[in-house]
Structure 1
Amino acid sequence: MAFNAAVLVEAAGPLRIEALDLTGLADTDVVVRVRATSLCHTDLEAVHGDLRTPLPFVPGHEAAGTVEWTGKRVSSLSVGDPVVTSWNPYCNECFYCARQQTILCQPYRDQAAQAYHFDGNPRLVWRDQPVHQLMYSGSFAELCVVSEACAIRVPPEMPMNRACLIGCGVMTGMGAVRNVAKVEAGATVTVIGCGAVGLSAVQGAGMAGAELIIAIDRQPGKLELARSLGATHTLAVDDSMAALYAELTQGRGADYVFEAAGNPSAFRASIDLVRPGGQVVWLGKLPADQEMSFRWGALMGEKRIVRSSYGGARPARDFPALAAAYLDGTLKLDEYVTSTIALGDVNVGLERLSSGQDIRAVIEF
């Protein structure tokens, strides 16, 4: 079955639209007909070579679509079901899965560097050459092959071009507030970086009943969007920020600080902006070999720091709940989609993402 996909064939080159074929489908596989997939900074990092993903590969991991085919051992899905994909397959048997830490699943991490399917074998082929799938997904394509646990059914009335956002950025930000930090009503929350992940943390804080939600970013437009999504205060990164922040937090700092900008200054700021005894949740990331330094005094005061890459996600539980929250108006997603493009415009979309012009661009098929 031939289908079109955006493929990175040469390092530092543009993505090319190529015809691929499926190969070696297993009894536990699900083939999803992608209806919409959004562009995430992780895709950009992979295309730039920061993740050292083997070539050739198909980027993309925030996707929604309908089930096209299921393997014989797939019992929870049927052809035609609307689904959101997850990029975190897990074995449910290893040391970490037994402790409900599926994001650390041993086979998941062992196989990640190959960027093939969860069993370590390819599912895509191009000109008789195996093709890798970024983050066990590769959703910049008309078809996407995932494990059964990574295709999560959502209500049929959920628009695909909004459902796709749930699978990474929204889950990461919302989950960091709900599942990781467990923010309580009346808390003071600071969010650094107002992209899709940070905006989702802002919304999550509002749903949790936080009394003060401070959004910080360099771009006025993103701060305005953060306020429309529930931030009680916004601060631009400038010389006046420290004094304004101290006034807002009565000189203590926030109970919770969520770093979602992914740069060294934001990581350092997250430690400075949390109060003694407060919690920092790092959601952004740097290149794997880049070193970070902190002022030791900023780390004092019994501050707790945790790294979260998927917001403590349990997709089977969380994805349908997030879809329901969108449908009942509790969760806002329309504001995230700042451009809609065709697959052939994927390189333009990545350029816009890199320059900060988009919160999320969505590829619609």
Structure 2
Amino acid sequence: MSTAGKVIKCKAAVLWEPHKPFSIEDIEVAPPKAHEVRIKMVATGVCRSDDHVVSGSMVSPFPVIVGHEGAGIVESVGEGVTSVKPGDKVIPLFSPQCGKCRVCKHPESNFCTKNDLKKPQGTLLDGTSRFTCKEKPIHNFLGTSTFSQYTVVDEIAVAKIDDASPLEKVCLIGCGFTTGYGSAVKVAKVTPGSTCAVFGLGGVGLSVIIGCKTAGAARIIAVDINKDKFAKAKQLGATECINPQDYNKPIEEVLQEMTDGGVDFSFEVIGRLDTMNSALVSCHAACGVSVIVGVPPNAKTLPVNPMLLLLGRTWKGAIFGGFKSKDAVPKLVADFMAKKFPLEPLITHVLPFEKINEGFDLLRAGKSIRTVLTF
């Protein structure tokens, strides 16, 4: 029996307020309006950015259904939708691509002005949500809200992908992998034979390493205080692994000494102000490029001596690895299917969706790289 045009009752992980566990609730998901798509979720990753909402370091209206790294199958579409149809395998896009704004038309930029990241409203483009629970409206998260058996997204925030792709793996292309990989190959534009330093070896940091290796870097120095992550980093391409706690001097000085004055490319994939500064200073003063990948704490600023840039360093950042999402995601899935890069080593745990709090416990304890929740 078709569910198109009808309200769907299903389960979702609702975050009623910050600093509390997720609550598995019965919710109602309204049908998609014009230019919207309703998706039956199949798999979703547990990402640090979702945990930032729990901790309050990332602003979001409450109550909210978070989750933004998922994959699923189109259940129904609203009027005017042309890019996907029911039955298509898709990845929701937390960084949309309207194709019409100044940013979408810019050849090098990707942060579409229709995003809900800069000033989170917790709604779809029309200013409303499709979720209700206990007769209360529940907010969206970044226009995706993948921690629900069904979700509704705007058409500009969904990409059709290869029908043969394994959704429990390619869901990582919805955020973590693409953010890290693109930061190396597209934002930094890592060059063959270069030396790179990657600060933070979570799922995104390891994806940066995959990108650096793919781009042909000769040395990839992995930096983390958790030595348990070093074996996986080396498996994915790191040539050396160092722990800042093993030295009695700042890690940027260690890296400068190791690399004739500094690395060519550095990446901060933690979201801490002190490591952002260390990553910047660790790249060469005259020719280094440092990329901010980790999401910094809300409303924090970093004082910087302009001399750090005057001699020729470049400091930059980007959302979603600099990729234009609707264009890039299908191609990245195709590249994965063609075995151009691995995703399997990033997935350390697979849990049923109802065990979402266990997945976040693993993340916070540093025991997982990526936990994938399956519906």
Same fold (TM over 0.5): yes
Output the CA distance in 2 between the equivalents of 1:200 and 1:11.
Answer: 29
* Counterpart secondary structure, 1:106: coil
Per-residue deviation, 1:178: 1.8
- Match of 2:5? none
Instruction: Please give the per-residue CA displacement for 1:137-179, whole angstroms capped at 9, x wherever unaligned.
Output: 1111101111223221222222111111011111111111122
Instruction: Please give the per-residue CA displacement for 1:87-141, whole angstroms capped at 9, x wherever unaligned.
Output: 0224433333333576433342598421111222111112222111111111111
Output the CA distance in 1 between the equivalents of 2:134 and 2:107.
Answer: 40
Question: Does structure 1 residue 356 correspond to structure 2 residue 363?
Answer: no
Output the CA distance in 1 between the equivalents of 2:339 and 2:102.
Answer: 39
TM-score (structure 2 length as normaliser): 0.91
Q: Identify which of 207, 210, 231 aligns with 1:224.
A: 231
- Match of 1:124? 131
Output the CA distance in 1 between the equivalents of 2:254 and 2:18.
Answer: 45
Structure 1 residues 316 and 113, CA gap change in structure 2 (3 angstroms): closer
- Partners of 2:22 and 2:357 within 8 A in 1: yes
Output the CA distance in 2 between the equivalents of 1:336 and 1:363.
Answer: 14
- Match of 1:173? 180
Per-residue deviation, 1:81: 1.0
Per-residue deviation, 1:198: 1.0
- Partners of 1:116 and 1:136 within 8 A in 2: yes
Question: Does structure 1 residue 253 correspond to structure 2 residue 254?
Answer: no
Output the CA distance in 1 between the equivalents of 2:171 and 2:264.
Answer: 31
- Match of 1:70? 77
Per-residue deviation, 1:265: 2.6
Aligned 1:164-313 pairs, distance under 5 A: 164-240=171-247, 245-249=255-259, 251-276=260-285, 277-294=287-304, 298-313=308-323
Output the CA distance in 2 between the equivalents of 1:41 and 1:291.
Answer: 20
- Structure 1's consecutive aligned runs of 4 or more residues displaced over 4 angstroms after TM superposition are 100-103, 109-112, 241-244, 294-300
- AA at the equivalent of 1:302: G
Question: Does structure 1 residue 136 correspond to structure 2 residue 143?
Answer: yes
Per-residue deviation, 1:39: 0.6
Output the CA distance in 1 between the equivalents of 2:117 and 2:372.
Answer: 30
Q: Identify which of 322, 327, 333 aligns with 1:323.
A: 333
* Counterpart secondary structure, 2:322: coil
Instruction: Please give the per-residue CA displacement for 1:26-47, whole angstroms capped at 9, x wherever unaligned.
Output: 1211111100001101100112
Q: Which sits farther off after the overlay, 271-280 or 34-43?
A: 271-280
Output the CA distance in 1 between the equivalents of 2:73 and 2:275.
Answer: 38
Output the CA distance in 1 between the equivalents of 2:364 and 2:79.
Answer: 41
- Partners of 2:97 and 2:324 within 8 A in 1: no
Gaps of 5+ in 2: 1-7
Q: Which sits farther off after the overlay, 118-127 or 272-281?
A: 118-127
- AA at the equivalent of 1:165: L
Output the CA distance in 1 between the equivalents of 2:103 and 2:306.
Answer: 32
Q: Identify which of 143, 149, 165 aligns with 1:158.
A: 165
Gaps of 5+ in 1: none
* Counterpart secondary structure, 1:184: coil
Instruction: Please give the per-residue CA displacement for 1:268-316, whole angstroms capped at 9, x wherever unaligned.
Output: 2112210122111000122221232346654553211012121111223
- Partners of 1:322 and 1:331 within 8 A in 2: no
**Count of residues in Structure 1 that have an aligned counterpart in Structure 2:** 364
Per-residue deviation, 1:182: 1.4
- Partners of 1:30 and 1:67 within 8 A in 2: yes
- Match of 2:49? 42
Output the CA distance in 1 between the equivalents of 2:239 and 2:359.
Answer: 31
* Counterpart secondary structure, 1:322: helix
* Counterpart secondary structure, 1:108: coil
- AA at the equivalent of 2:331: A
- Match of 1:340? 350
- Partners of 1:15 and 1:346 within 8 A in 2: yes
Structure 1 residues 94 and 316, CA gap change in structure 2 (3 angstroms): closer
* Counterpart secondary structure, 2:321: coil
- AA at the equivalent of 1:361: T
Identity of aligned residues (%): 30
- Match of 2:37? 30
Q: Which sits farther off after the overlay, 328-337 or 169-178?
A: 328-337
Output the CA distance in 2 between the equivalents of 1:108 and 1:293.
Answer: 28
- Match of 1:5? 12
- Partners of 2:9 and 2:26 within 8 A in 1: yes
- AA at the equivalent of 2:159: I
Structure 1 residues 340 and 74, CA gap change in structure 2 (3 angstroms): same
